[in-house]
Amino acid sequence: MKKGLILVVAIVAVVCMTANVYAQDPGKKLVRGVANVLTGWVELPKNIYQTTVEDNILSGLTIGLAKGVGMSIVRTGAGIYETVTFPFPIPEDYAPVLEPEFVFSE
Domain boundaries, the chain: 22-106
Q: Would you say 82 and 97 are in contact if contact means Cβ atoms under 8 Å apart? A: yes
Amino acid at 13: A
Higher per-residue confidence, 69 vs 105: 69
- Rounded to whole angstroms, how far apart are CA atoms 47 and 61? 9
The answer, yes or no, to whether residue 73 has pLDDT greater than 50, is yes
**Axis crossing angle, helix 65-84 with helix 43-54, rounded to the nearest 10:** 140
* Gap between the Cα atoms of 103 and 22, Å rounded: 19
Other beta carbons within 10 angstroms of residue 99's beta carbon come to: 8
Binned at pLDDT 50, 70 and 90, residue 105 comes out as confident
Whether residue 43 is predicted with pLDDT greater than 80 in this model: the reply is yes
Q: Express as a percent the part of the chain with pLDDT over 70.
A: 79
Region 26-54 average pLDDT: 95
Alpha-carbon separation of residue 96 from 12, 21, 24, 48, 49 (angstroms) = 28, 15, 9, 24, 25
Does residue 79 contact residue 62 with C-beta atoms inside 8 Å?
A: no
